[in-house]
Amino acid sequence: MQRHAGVLGLIAASLIVTDVAASVDRSLIPQPRPAQQSRQVPTPVLAQQAPINAGIAPTRSLFPAARPDHLGQPRSASLERWLRGFRSRALAQGIQTRVFDRAFAGVQLDPDILQRESRQPEFSRPIWAYLDSAVSESRIRNGRAMLREHRRVLDEIEDRYGVDREVVVAIWGMESAYGSLRGSTRIIPALTTLAISSRRSNFYEQQLIGALQILQAGDVDERHLVGSWAGAMGHTQFIPTSYLAYAVDFRGDGHRDIWSDDPTDSLASTAAYLSRHGWTRGQPWGVEVRVPSGFNPRLANTRRGVQEWVALGIRGQRGVALPTSGEATLMFPAGSQGPAILAFQNFRVIKRYNNADAYAIGVGHLADRLRGEDGFVADWPRDDRPLSRSEREELQRLLQRAGHYSGAIDGRVGSGTLSAVRDWQAANGLPPDGYVSLALLERMRR
């Protein structure tokens, strides 16, 4: 789950929202995001084996240090008014008075968080640059070391939930660099700041209620409820509502502890999340494929049975055999000149954790590399670059002028813009793959 990403600093500072089919990243913060936010806490799952690197469960949690509050400063009148209203809403949803008052004692707004939330890069990153960082040699090397170090508990997690250990560890690496960058921002002040000032205030207020429910359940105290500036927590960056719905007590110590230095509950919770969203045991996330000469690029981003793709001439790169059943979507993450990927159900499940094509490709590809597979066969168009916002707006205006687009001129490349791009490409003798690039914009300017 879920922006935000997977190291916090890598993703939060570099991505811009777009709906291009995996040509750029769409998430600002890597964090789990369930389709339906649930406040029902599942029954804790108990482990049959002691935690990793120890004979018994640790007696206390080893939390990262929290950032200090600025206690004693007077609150602004606007913050006091908002707190009075929110307090009524929180108590109406079952938050106890003592829990609320203790959580908000001394809480102040954090202007640094507002700057982070409003900061949008002018250029989005192309997928190959994203993958260079997300699936770097150091991340592969460190991930293989984590697989060895935590082999015993990963055996149990994989056996219980049916989710490949490499995928779980890949998410761990993407989200927090294997636990080294979990975040130390106090969650209550951060979510309060965002709930008051963000354009997504309703979402952040819901997360704030979730954070109070976590405190009320006793899984962690106010001082140790820490994470990223946007509210994602722990080794695999759960937002509060996802924690409430999917986190598990795999160690069996009575707490679902994703904040501890021990990653057991975090890794198990990630596997439980993927399992609950339909992970298919034994199925790949995706396979790089060869596309036959003369193939119609308009079939990209359509879902078909695997045998139907085979009948159309799709074959696995390096002779990799495709699954014999199931449905898959053909993707051209960087247009028809770059790698082609046949993405399966498990790819869609990874996107439930973070709804970005580039993120899911990064997790899947990192998992493949952790198990010893090679990189992509086809080359990425590295001499290309993404369009700036003003260039994307110009693209939309040109599409509108040509009669292919009737949506808003907002620089957001969503499904309507992509469909218009395909129509323009087909009308002008180009492969209609929907890939937005500087070369396409320059061609349209003529």
**Of residues 77 and 102, which shows the higher confidence score?**
102
**Sequence-ordered alpha helix ranges (H) in 177-276:** 187-197, 201-217, 240-246, 264-276
Rounded to whole angstroms, the Cα distance separating 214 from 208 reads: 10
pLDDT in tens, 44-55: 333 333 333 322
What value, to the nearest 5°, has the Cα angle with vertex 8 and ends 104 and 342?
A: 130
Give the CB-side neighbour count of residue 338, counting CA atoms within 13 A.
Answer: 25
Percent composition of the chain: helix, strand, coil (DSSP 3-state, to 5) = 45, 5, 50
Rounded to whole angstroms, the Cα distance separating 63 from 220 reads: 10
Burial category of 130 from C-beta neighbours within 10 Å (exposed 0-12, middle 13-18, buried 19 and up)? buried
**Would you say residue 387 has pLDDT above 80?**
yes
Percent of the chain with pLDDT over 70: 82
Query: Is-contact 388 438, C-beta < 8 A?
Result: no
Give the confidence band of 17 by pLDDT, cuts at 50, 70, 90. Answer: very low
Give the confidence band of 31 by pLDDT, cuts at 50, 70, 90. Answer: very low
Number of helices (H) and strands (E) in the chain: give both, helices first.
18, 7
**Would you say residue 104 has pLDDT above 50?**
yes
Helices 438-445 and 389-401 pack at an angle, to 10 degrees, of 40
pLDDT in tens, 403-443: 999 999 999 888 899 899 999 999 998 888 888 999 999 99
What value, to the nearest 5°, has the Cα angle with vertex 331 and ends 325 and 333?
A: 150
Rounded to whole angstroms, the Cα distance separating 115 from 109 reads: 12
Give the confidence band of 271 by pLDDT, cuts at 50, 70, 90. Answer: very high
Rounded to whole angstroms, the Cα distance separating 322 from 342 reads: 9
What pTM value is reported for the model? 0.81
pLDDT at res. 294: 87
Give Cα separations from 71 to 110, 191, 196, 224, 388 (angstroms): 13, 17, 19, 16, 42
What tokens does 344 get? 């399966």
Give the confidence band of 34 by pLDDT, cuts at 50, 70, 90. Answer: very low
**Of residues 267 and 300, which shows the higher confidence score?**
267
Give Cα separations from 394 to 349, 374, 390, 412, 415 (angstroms): 34, 39, 6, 11, 17
Rounded to whole angstroms, the Cα distance separating 305 from 310 reads: 9
**Of residues 271 and 336, which shows the higher confidence score?**
271
| Residues in contact with 205: Cβ distance below 8 Å, sequence separation at least 6, in sequence order | 86, 89, 191, 195
Q: Where are the domains of the chain?
A: 1-280, 286-370, 389-445
Main-chain phi, psi angles of 367, to 5 degrees: -60, -40
Which of 38-52, 93-107, 331-345, 349-363 has the weakest average pLDDT? Answer: 38-52
Main-chain phi, psi angles of 66, to 5 degrees: -95, 150
Q: If we measure between CA atoms, which residue out of 250, 270, 247, 220 comes closest to residue 51? A: 250
Which of 114-118, 126-130, 182-186, 251-255 has the weakest average pLDDT? Answer: 114-118
Task: Read off the pLDDT of each residue in 353-363 and give the average, rounded to a whole number.
Answer: 94
N residues, the chain: 446
Facing residues of 304 across strands?
A: 328
Q: How many CB atoms lie within 10 A of CB 98?
A: 9
Main-chain phi, psi angles of 435, to 5 degrees: -80, 125
Rounded to whole angstroms, the Cα distance separating 433 from 298 reads: 6
Rounded to whole angstroms, the Cα distance separating 344 from 271 reads: 18
Give the confidence band of 73 by pLDDT, cuts at 50, 70, 90. Answer: low
**Would you say residue 90 has pLDDT above 70?**
yes
User: Hey, which of 123-127, 365-369, 384-388 has the most confident mean pLDDT?
Assistant: 365-369
pLDDT at res. 433: 85
| Residues in contact with 234: Cβ distance below 8 Å, sequence separation at least 6, in sequence order | 176, 182, 227, 243, 258, 259, 266
Give Cα separations from 333 to 55, 362, 373, 435 (angstroms): 46, 12, 20, 8
User: Hey, which of 383-387, 389-393, 414-418 has the most confident mean pLDDT?
Assistant: 389-393
Task: Read off the pLDDT of each residue in 258-287 and give the average, rounded to a whole number.
Answer: 97
Query: Which CATH fold would you assign to the domain 286-370?
Result: Lysozyme (1.10.530)
Which of 13-27, 206-220, 322-336 has the weakest average pLDDT? Answer: 13-27
Q: If we measure between CA atoms, which residue out of 394, 390, 393, 378 comes closest to residue 333? A: 378
**Would you say residue 291 has pLDDT above 70?**
yes
Judged by DSSP in three states, 396 sits in: helix
pLDDT at res. 123: 58
Whole-number average pLDDT of the chain: 85
Q: How many CB atoms lie within 10 A of CB 171?
A: 32
Task: Read off the pLDDT of each residue in 147-158 and give the average, rounded to a whole number.
Answer: 98
Query: Is-contact 107 192, C-beta < 8 A?
Result: yes
**Would you say residue 392 has pLDDT above 50?**
yes
User: Hey, which of 61-70, 88-97, 334-343 has the most confident mean pLDDT?
Assistant: 88-97
pLDDT at res. 118: 67
Q: If we measure between CA atoms, which residue out of 250, 249, 226, 252 comes closest to residue 238? A: 226
pLDDT at res. 56: 28
